Amino acid sequence: MLNTIILLTGTVEQRVLAPVLQSHNPQLIVRSVATLAELSALDPKLIGSSRLVAFCTDTIVPRLVLDQLAFGAYNFHAGSPRFPGWGAAHFACHQATTEFGGTAHVMLEKVDAGPIVGVELFPVPVGSTVSDLDELSYACLARLFWQLAPALATRREPLPELSIKWSGEKGTRRRYAEMSGG
């Protein structure tokens, strides 16, 4: 039975997102962590009986942890499927994309490569900055979280996968430095 979700996100988001999950499953225990160290410090038995939900975090969860989770792991990525990896908004601005958003996906050892379970997109306003795209994609992710929260909190089975696939080159700090001339 799904009774525990490990919520990997910042402290501000923890205070908002945990009650959303619990509103759909009052018996649900939400263990909030903000760092890999906090996640790694959890009892392996707890990990082995939980689902992991990561929201807007740069923390890379090791395969050892992902393999232990009884109910899988999902990540809410600030960027559309066209912009996997680090710094999605930077690459979107550099490429002058006309569409951006947020993506929810199954977590695998390889970052931003798992099957996609939710996407919300928006047209990029003319003249948008990286900060603008970050703010707009964060709002998309909040809406996407609210949409998927009932299933995340109650469904034992994996969330249904969409036919949408990741595309585009994965963003990395190295690619960003090259793009920026640094």
Tally of structural domains, the chain: 1
Q: What is the pLDDT along the chain (182 residues), one digit of tens a residue?
A: 799 999 999 999 999 999 999 999 999 999 999 999 999 999 999 999 999 999 999 999 999 999 999 999 999 999 999 999 989 999 999 999 999 999 999 999 999 999 999 999 999 999 999 999 999 999 999 999 999 999 999 999 999 999 999 998 888 888 888 877 76
Alpha-carbon distance 55 to 138, whole Å?
10
Print the SS3 string covering the chain. Answer: CCCEEEEECCHHHHHHHHHHHHHHCCCCEEEEECCHHHHHCCCHHHHCCCEEEEECCCCCCCHHHHHHCCCCEEEEECCCCCCCECCHHHHHHHCCCCEEEEEEEECCCCCCCCCEEEEEEEECCCCCCHHHHHHHHHHHHHHHHHHHHHHHHHCCCCCCCCCCCCCCCCECHHHHHHHHCC
The pLDDT of residue 153 is 98
Residue 130 has what pLDDT?
Answer: 95
Spatial distance between the Cα atoms of 100 and 122, rounded to a whole number of angstroms: 6
What pTM value is reported for the model?
0.95
Neighbour-count burial of 131, counting CB atoms closer than 10 A to its CB (0-12 exposed, 13-18 middle, 19+ buried) = exposed
72 within 8 A of 158, measured Cβ to Cβ? yes
What is residue 182's predicted lDDT score, i.e. its pLDDT? 63
Which residues span the domain enclosing 167?
A: 4-180
The phi and psi torsions of 109 (rounded to 5 degrees) equal -60, -40
Q: What is the CATH number of the domain that holds 164?
A: 3.40.50.12230
